[in-house]
Structure 1
């Protein structure tokens, strides 16, 4: 661990939220590959931007082209992948940005760690950073039938090791804040369900309407 470092205080989270006219928080989408996480996350980001809000999507594949390009898919590397993303999400949310994180994140312990990082950032703050877990709940058979990248086919053929749902576990959330089923709802309906929950919790203002 680094030593000889000092934390330098900045504007308070309350000041940033007030000046930017919105509250920062993290929406964490978890689910199997091909469950529809990225599709819903992209549509949700677009919808929030149309509301005049600052929102940014962190995608499981995209971050592996840069920030996490040194990580593989072993359990250890998956753990580190989620830890880094959780830290980045926390920083974005602290800046009064709405973060939409779209990762398989197969282990409950890793998702709990991400939640706790946000909770720890709330010490001595009047404006805590909410962490909203969204379970994109799709049966394995449906995800495997979709298989847009051909990954399930390769995993079944033994060409991909440690593939979630086939040769590596996926631990479903026990008590997610939101559950969406993309095989039963349209993308628009999934976005509407998430947005309605955010309004109900007071995380979005009724005055924020699409432009």
Structure 2
């Protein structure tokens, strides 16, 4: 059974999310109102996923992002799903680029109108996948590096990219598709080249490739 820790300073929203998740069969191990309580709850309960509001007390700025980064560092198998009232592009990239073995996601609160879709996103992140709001994807990809869409990729490359979006490493993709790891590495390099994703000090090509896949572009 999927175990969740919720962190949001808004009691009504937190209570509503808990009710939705428990109705759908997930276990909410804890729901808390600030980043310190979140980190303690994750350490105590070791959930499959932490759902984290970006802005929490005491400053209501980036406490949630810092807590998410700490979870990724100290509990790399715990998925992190960020919720935000507004798009925070830099914060989105910070969390998306530093994922561990756990999944990662970024959803905008005002755009969550489909309960089934929200629960599916939580489950995807809990099992190592990626769930990012299309608006976030569009903003993150608004850069010269992402020039091409996935239609330029071969069928095998698209298959590999879809596994990358599920959180698989090159070794994991190789094992699942019964390919040599060096073959997967060659395909990944080809994906980067075809999508126009060159090595840059301030970007993570793997994240940008996955976001291109998620955008359907």
Q: State the TM-score, normalizing by the size of structure 2.
A: 0.34
Bigger relative contact order, structure 1 or 2 (CA pairs below 8 A, ≥6 apart): 1
Q: State the TM-score, normalizing by the size of structure 1.
A: 0.34
Higher helix share: 2
